[in-house]
Amino acid sequence: MKYIISILLVSFIYFAQAEEFQAPVTDTKWQIIESPLECSLTQVIPSFGEAGFRRVNGGPLELFFKTTSQPATQNNVAFEISAAPWQNTDQFEPLVSMPTSKGQREFAVNGVLAQQALTNMQDGRFPLIRYRSQTYTGDVVAKLSTVKFNDSSSAFNQCLSNLYPDSFDEINNLTIYFESEKAVLT
């Protein structure tokens, strides 16, 4: 009987553990795209996909996680903030939980929640998502690493401040059309 209980306990612990994905400390790279129409700061997460922050002109800041290998089940995705490793704690601060659809590969929050995650990253904390995957029996956890983040965050913040404030659709609505060879508005 003790043997069966031991096996059940070990198997429960095995299945209750989460599969974690994070860029390695020794090889964390941030890629930044800067233009007057879009700013993005992304990180490749090996065996998972990529994650980061982006904003297009006229739109809100967005925190996104995009997977190439771990499509979601129809359940929920939790966006959380993890304490920095040197704080010796496993506490997580929840940001929001959202429903997922079967096969979903991109998860995002925007506006205030994305800004809160960016601020926490600047303080050395890790934004992460936790959800159920179709390819793994336990939870999948993907973390954005803060390693080398400060090297790129100032350029990203500068890009955000230089971003053109109006969206393409707003600019398109301001277009004035003239009749051929005429310059008078009627």
| Mean pLDDT computed over every residue of the chain | 86
| Distance between CA atoms of residues 130 and 149, nearest Å | 22
pLDDT at 10 over 50: no
Question: Which token pair is 52?
Answer: 């980061």
Provide the terminal-to-terminal Cα distance of the chain, rounded to the nearest Å: 91
Q: 79 with 32: CB under 8 angstroms? A: no
Q: Residue 5 domain-assigned? A: no
pLDDT in tens, 108-133: 999 999 999 999 999 989 999 999 99
36 is a domain residue: yes
- What's the structural domain count of the chain? 1
Whether residue 173 is contained in a domain is answered as no
In a domain, 80, yes or no: yes
Measured between alpha carbons, how far is 28 from 32 in angstroms, rounded to an integer? 13
Sheet of strand 19-22: strand arrangement: 19-22, 139-143, 126-133, 72-82, 92-99
**Which CATH number do you get for residue 65?**
2.60.40.2540
Containing structural domain, residue 85: 18-166
Tokens describing residue 6 = 């031991």
Residue 177 lies inside a defined structural domain of this protein: no
Kindly tell me if the per-residue pLDDT of 171 is higher than 70: no
Mean local confidence (pLDDT), 87-96: 84
Does residue 160 register a pLDDT over 90?
Answer: yes
Residue 101 located in a structural domain: yes
